[in-house]
Amino acid sequence: MNFEIINDFTQNNIDFNFREYYQLLVLKEENWRNYNQLYPFPNETIISILFSLARKYSICTKNVHYSICLIQRYLGLVEFNKKNRFTQNTLSSPSKEIYLFNEFQISICALNISCKLNQVYWGKTLEFKSIVNTYFERDEYQKLEIEFLDIIKFHISIPLVSDFVGIIIDGFYLSKNQEETYLAIIDFIYFKPNEFLCKQSFTLLALSVLCISFSMHDLNSIHFYIKWASNISNFTFQSVQFQINNIVKIAFNDKMTLKIINEQIWGNKK
């Protein structure tokens, strides 16, 4: 993506006003932050299982991101439901049992639900049926899926970082190299949800991911993209700097790459 084209488009095209979009995003962000602070994210084992399943069966990892959030809702709500049903049971008639998942079962169930909601029909494949036969007793999967959905049925509308990215770059396309970088960073963010998804602004996170993606193959341009991000939003240049720094500090293991990026972010070449 060419920085000057972005700058001209966002400043001169009356059909695109990101500052108006931003007000809508803020409302979503408040709900998102409330959920992410209230409910626990799944552990690293579950997240690793989800990514492994997606890789093995060529499932878009956006379904993994969504699955992680579905499981988060489930973990947060299941205890409340158990307590509520226990109270009902002591006061009136017995309520139905709440099934317990192991890590493989909840991963398989959440990923399949995510695929269904995104019209990816993994559940109809022979591979999925083989997995179900391996990790579930006969007819157990359907009972567990119904139980899972019953608990989260009012909480399946979940904004993802990629949704915010889509709004920000509406009308543009990432190059192949940029898209690979972008997808890798987004996957890493969801692999470490407690590092990124509990208190951070969705919009700031999305803008920062884009700045890194646009500039990874031309690190001299990162300052221009930080300026672009602050110009089209209500975030300061410094807040975008700090968010980008936070991402690269956690996500990049290559010390030389990290050193070069930091030099460009902060302008502290030596």
Can you read off the two tokens belonging to residue 207? 């803008």
pLDDT (tens digit per residue) in 103-136: 999 999 999 999 998 888 898 889 999 999 999 9
Q: How far apart are CA 112 and CA 121, in angstroms?
A: 8
Q: Buried b / exposed e across 58-83, counting CB within 10 Å, b at 16+?
A: ebebbbbbbbbbbbbbbbbbbeebee
pLDDT (tens digit per residue) in 222-237: 889 999 888 888 789 9
The single-letter DSSP state of residue 58 is: T
Given this model, what pLDDT does residue 86 score?
A: 41
Q: Are 101 and 144 in contact (CB under 8 A)?
A: yes
The 3-state secondary structure of 183-246, one letter per residue: HHHHHHHHHCHHHHCCCCCHHHHHHHHHHHHHHCCCHHHHHHHHHHHHHHCCCCHHHHHHHHHH
What are the backbone angles phi and psi of residue 51, rounded to the nearest 5°? -65, -35
Q: Place 56 in a pLDDT band, splitting at 50, 70 and 90.
A: very high
Instruction: Tell me which of 227 and 170 has the higher pLDDT.
Output: 227
pLDDT (tens digit per residue) in 138-148: 889 998 999 89
Q: How far apart are CA 246 and CA 250, in angstroms?
A: 6
Q: Buried b / exposed e across 191-211, counting CB within 10 Å, b at 16+?
A: bebeebbeebbbbbbbbbbbb
Strands (E), the chain: none
pLDDT (tens digit per residue) in 28-54: 676 666 667 778 899 999 999 999 999
Given this model, what pLDDT does residue 108 score?
A: 95
